[in-house]
């Protein structure tokens, strides 16, 4: 076991990273009781905190990389410990040493791809806008109402390109004057920051901010709660502020303003999954449900563990790039919850959630028993 020494190094890094609150931990263990990992295997954030306090952090195991930054434990902590920030601070040490054990290994390649190509998937920068071919989507210009920023997965992933295309179709139908940046867009950087690679996050953020400012962007529409979170709450660290809206919120606005008419029906039972970075981290719970409730024929059936108690899909904190072994996937549990609620469709509005839910669905005995949809895909069917 390689331990990081001396103790002072860990304490200094934790302090610099805003994780100084570690010292307030009184080891009550409440964080462990609400952590989704303890539904699938034993995991103790309390122990990680204890070890860090004594400078005994083991950077050669995967333990400190398990946290999906779901946000469930910090809101429960009676001592106000900044658990996520402190966990990320430990990862910074590991990243600095270049130690990415076991399932964490892919993070190294992801970082290289982000650095060279601006996306974590190893795809060509020039193809970033290819999802929009044939859809009358324009390049962004200053006179437009908003910039649509699909994010990496919607630009490149075959399943998620459908969400980007549904979004563009809806915006066109509603008469929204919007554009995209195409190859001038970079990954927002949210998830790589959670792996502790602060320098790479800053580089991506600065490149995006430069592109936004040069293009005259004021309002940004996003499809990913991770882009939403970082543009809204983290980019202001660079002394800039853009108006940021998530598509679930914007759909609600378009319908309320009478710009988007839902003329068709969708006679299905639908459960809505609250993505951690839209719900717990940013308090957006009602608008996605309001949108779904306005669809004729659609019956919204709630699962257990919703709103602020939503069960994480397992994809945050950089875990989207790490293999989680079968039997330990939170998304399998979530699909079982949706099925138990009687849902025929599990709807959400996050590319990481959709990726994990689709993987879990394929693993079901009857993979046709439930569909996974982004809210925009449902709305596209009824306009």
Which chain residues interact with ligand SF4 by CB under 6 A?
25-31, 34-37, 45-46, 49, 67-73, 77-79, 81, 83-84
- CB 311 to ligand SF4: min, Å: 10
Nearer to ligand SF4, 25 or 171 (CB): 25
Measure the CA–CA gap between 312 and 331, rounded to whole angstroms. 8
Supply the minimum distance, in Å, between the C-beta of residue 244 and ligand SF4: 23
Q: Token pair 């580089």 is at which residue?
A: 203
> Taking the complex as a whole, how short is the minimal distance between the CB of residue 321 and ligand SF4, in angstroms?
16
Angle between helices 83-97 and 7-16 (to 10 degrees): 120
Tokens of 297: 């024929």
Residue 286: CB minimum distance to ligand SF4, A = 23
Nearer to ligand SF4, 23 or 173 (CB): 23
Distance CA 237, CA 12 (A): 21
DSSP codes of every residue in 164-178: HHHHHHHHHHTT--E
Q: Give the SS3 label for residue 244.
A: strand
**Helices 330-340, 351-362: crossing angle, 10 deg rounding:** 80
Residue whose tokens read 């790490």: 322
Looking at beta carbons only, is 63 or 185 nearer to ligand SF4?
Answer: 63
C-alpha neighbours within 13 Å on the C-beta side of residue 175: 6
Complex with ligand SF4: residue 41 or 210, whichever CB lies closer: 41
CB of 279 to ligand SF4, least distance (A): 13
CB of 71 to ligand SF4, least distance (A): 6
Q: Which is nearer to ligand SF4, 10 or 370 (CB)?
A: 10
Q: Cβ closer to ligand SF4: 49 or 104?
A: 49
* Residue 20 C-beta: closest distance to ligand SF4, Å: 13
Beta strand pairing status for 146-149 and 138-139? unpaired
Contact yes or no for 147/221 (Cβ under 8 A): yes
User: What contacts 375, CB < 8 A, 6 or more positions away?
Assistant: 247, 248, 251, 272, 288, 291, 292, 347, 348, 349
Q: What is the CA radius of gyration of the chain?
A: 21
Between 120 and 314, CB nearer to ligand SF4:
314
- Least distance between ligand SF4 and beta carbon 352 (Å): 14
Q: Could you give the CA distance from residue 249 to residue 150 in angstroms, rounded to a whole number?
A: 15
For ligand SF4, the closer CB: 58 or 253? 58
Structure tokens of 218?
Answer: 């004021």
Helix count (H) and strand count (E) of the chain? Answer: 16, 9
**Cβ 49 to ligand SF4, closest distance in Å?**
5
Judged by CB, which is closer to ligand SF4: 71, or 150? 71
């Amino acid at each position: 076991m390689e331990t990081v020494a001396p103790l002072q190094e860990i304490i200094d890094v934790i302090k610099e990273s805003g994780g100084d609150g570690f010292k307030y931990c009184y080891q009550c263990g409440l964080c462990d009781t609400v952590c989704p990992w303890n539904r699938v295997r034993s995991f103790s954030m309390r122990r990680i905190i204890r070890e860090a306090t004594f400078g005994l952090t083991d950077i050669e195991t995967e333990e400190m990389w398990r946290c999906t930054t779901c946000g469930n434990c910090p809101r429960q902590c009676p001592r106000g410990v900044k658990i996520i920030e402190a966990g990320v601070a430990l990862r910074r040490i590991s990243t600095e040493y270049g130690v990415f054990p076991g399932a964490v290994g892919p993070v190294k390649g992801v970082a290289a791809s982000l650095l060279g190509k601006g996306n974590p998937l190893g795809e060509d920068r020039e193809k970033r806008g290819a999802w929009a071919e044939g859809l009358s989507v324009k390049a962004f210009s200053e006179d437009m109402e908003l910039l649509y920023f699909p994010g990496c997965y919607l630009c490149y992933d075959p399943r998620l390109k459908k969400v980007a295309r549904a979004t563009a179709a809806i915006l066109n139908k509603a008469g929204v004057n919007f554009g995209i940046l195409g190859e001038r867009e970079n990954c927002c950087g949210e998830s790589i920051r959670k792996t502790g690679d602060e320098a790479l996050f800053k580089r991506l953020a600065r490149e995006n901010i430069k592109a936004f400012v040069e293009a005259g962007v004021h309002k940004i529409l996003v499809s990913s709660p991770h882009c939403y979170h970082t543009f809204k709450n983290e980019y202001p660290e660079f002394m800039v502020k853009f108006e940021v809206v998530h598509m679930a919120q914007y759909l609600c606005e378009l319908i309320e303003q009478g710009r988007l008419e839902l003329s068709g029906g969708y006679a299905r039972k639908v459960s809505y999954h609250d993505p951690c970075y839209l719900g717990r981290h940013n308090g957006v719970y009602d608008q996605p449900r309001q949108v779904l409730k306005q669809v004729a024929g659609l019956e919204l059936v709630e699962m257990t563990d919703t709103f602020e108690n939503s069960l994480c899909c397992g994809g945050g904190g950089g875990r989207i790039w790490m293999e989680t072994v079968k039997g330990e996937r939170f998304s399998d549990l979530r699909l079982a919850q949706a099925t138990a609620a009687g849902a025929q469709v599990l709807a959400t509005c996050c590319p990481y959630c959709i990726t994990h839910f689709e993987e879990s669905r394929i693993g079901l005995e009857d993979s046709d028993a439930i569909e996974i949809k982004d809210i925009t895909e449902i709305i596209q069917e009824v306009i």
